[in-house]
Amino acid sequence: GLFSQETNQLDPNLTSMYDLPELMANRYGDLGSDRPHLVKLDGFYRLDANEVGFFTFGASIRGQSGLPINTLGSHPFYGDGESYLVPRGEGGRMPLTTRFDTHVAYGHALSDGMRLEAFVDIFNLFNQQPELAVDEIYTYSALNPIVGGDKKDLEHAKVLYENQGVEKNANYANTSDRQAPLSARFGLRLLF
């Protein structure tokens, strides 16, 4: 593929996915940016107040399904997060996220075809901060994928060339990114 989201490898048409047979295992399933549901609603209303100017009120609502969670391990030659230990997306899915933004503006005509406008945008109005990403690296040990396996099979996985149990990443499945908190933008623009 053009981009490997799980490892952030941006080498168009040159990702490691097909380099070795063991890297191709468990690659079927929901892709890293799969969002089955996405809702976008935008609305604006402009109120003319004659000689005083005009007011604009707007709102934007976004809702989207969470991303699939993978269970990744290391590969002895390619490094961390290159081996899908169980099928892609087997770790479940992150929660639904929503976001509410608002826009309020006041404008006044200075002359024919020229107006001055002051505005404020408020992003993430309700300060919702659900998780957007989790640490998907199950272990930093090198091991082969468990073809056709599931998460229960991970307890029997062995480190390559050492025949010992796997040391689990203590941060696996913990939140690594959250939605940006409440913020605002103030602006002044001259339109002509």
The tokens describing 85, both together, are 């230990």
Under the banding of pLDDT at 50, 70 and 90, the label for residue 14 is: low
What pLDDT is stored for residue 185 in this prediction?
97
Average pLDDT over residues 154-167: 82
The string of pLDDT tens digits covering residues 42-68 is 999 999 988 899 999 999 999 999 999
Of the candidates 77, 91, 92, 78, which has an alpha carbon nearest to the alpha carbon of residue 138? 91
Give the residue carrying structure tokens 């075809």.
113
**Which residues make beta-bridge pairs with 4?**
9
The pTM (predicted TM-score) of the whole model is 0.78
Question: Which residues lie closer than 8 Å to 67 by C-beta, 6 or more apart?
Answer: 32, 33, 34, 35, 93, 94, 132, 133
Asked if the model's pLDDT at residue 106 lies above 70, the reply is: yes
Positive or negative: CA dihedral 135, 141, 147, 149: negative
Vertex 163 angle, CA 23 and 172, to 5°: 60
